[in-house]
Chains A and B, each alone.
Chain A
Amino acid sequence: MSSEKTEREPLFSPKYRKLITTPLGRENPITVQVLGICSALAVTAKLEPAFVMALSVMVVMGVGNVVIAALRNTIPPRIRIIVQLVVIAALVILVDQVLKAFAYDVSKQLSVFVGLIITNCIIMGRFEAFAMANKVWPSFLDGIGNAWGYGWILIVVAFFRELLGSGTIWGYGVIPQSWYIDNGGFYANNGMMILPPMALITVGVIIWVQRKRDTELIEEN
């Protein structure tokens, strides 16, 4: 890696920086490429699991992209999908084991979701589309960028779902108890927000806002 950077571009040249920034907006894996929707529905009922999920995906994607990029010339094209799957599965199991050993509380909250990372199509999509054809460093940046692009959508969706659905943020109550109808107030949590379909609608609203602001994203036909 070090030899590459001396003869080529600096570590954070504009081109490399774009690898991180475009997935946050114009090439966002969730709102533009519409990948990884299944886990975005499942983990966003609460903010904390959404955050740890984003972090775990970032680890798996960063390391996975580096491994695949380093091996890219040795991987036989006929079994490349299998190789990618083995790398993802191994990393996910590793993340899960480490969480269980050193962050047991978090791992208990996340047990289902960590396993779900294996089926996250964004990861395999980036392996296949980017890491198989690029050097290690840009692949690493691309992995981190896409994980952030995925993560921030998750966190925004989870923020609204937890706030409107449970009246809490990160588990802390933010809606005053006296507002609730039970206590003689006028407010009730919207139970529908914690059901998966509302995640889809929230993502839809984000897509709408994004396309309103960036008209180039609107397809013509």
Chain B
Amino acid sequence: MRERSRNNPMRSLLYIPGNHPGMLQNCAIYGSDAVIFDLEDAISISEKDSARRLVKHALRGFDYGNIEIIVRVNGRDTAYFEADLEEIVPANPDAIRLPKVDSADDVLAADELISRLEEANGLPKGEIGIQAMLETARAIVNVNSIAAASPRLVGLTLGGQDLAADLGIRATKEGYELLYAKSSVVIAAKAYKLQAFDTVFTDVSDLEGLRAQAVVGFALGFSGKAAIHPSQIPVINSVYTPEPKEVAKAAKIVTAAKEAEQRGLGVIAVDGRMVDAPVVAQALRTLELARLAGMEVLEL
């Protein structure tokens, strides 16, 4: 069993419809760093109950090995929200992805219910994370208070399609119309030490378009991106995988920083450039991503 951490890097997160037994069974093999079992948009109303039960049994029955398991429940404004959490929390996923988060209250309501369920089921308190999905203009306006809402929060993401609909605009492949929303989510996430996940690219046949969008997302500062088809995973992973050169440089920086620390030095220089705490933090992140990509990284 993998060690549970609130900050495991996740480059790719594969959505799996919760009512599809074959995909629930095989989803771990495609190389994504996380899977998101969906009880929300991918599931029609008549399938809500069966998907919830199926996901619960999948969580209990299958060993998914080293990947993060996230369940997207239905929003707080629906009749399924409580039932979803009541069945899913006892099965102890790594995180709940909470859609339609408009304000800090939405996060707090989920937090409260999850805490109650953790206690009732003898689970360690506060281990199940929340990823908040911002899908409306109002949510973007409230992004800072949402990010600060709860220590249970581990990540922020946005729902590109819903947000475009709420804004009354058409979502394009390039996604520039969501630039402000994406940036505000990234910055709020970083401010509160949360992960930030880019929205999905919906055209599964256009892997080049996906790559272009993922490159922009990575440049904006997202820590990973959701996928809706296994074929998207290698593309996303490669965008979020550092170049060997970067990895070598990062290793050098981290090594130098450790040595400096042991010798009680503050700011140091590597290859003639000043290295301070943020540079070291960047370098550590690069090494983490490299490890995730299966690159050989010295234990530092």
**A complexed with B:** no
User: Chain B interface (Cβ within 8 Å of chain A)?
Assistant: none
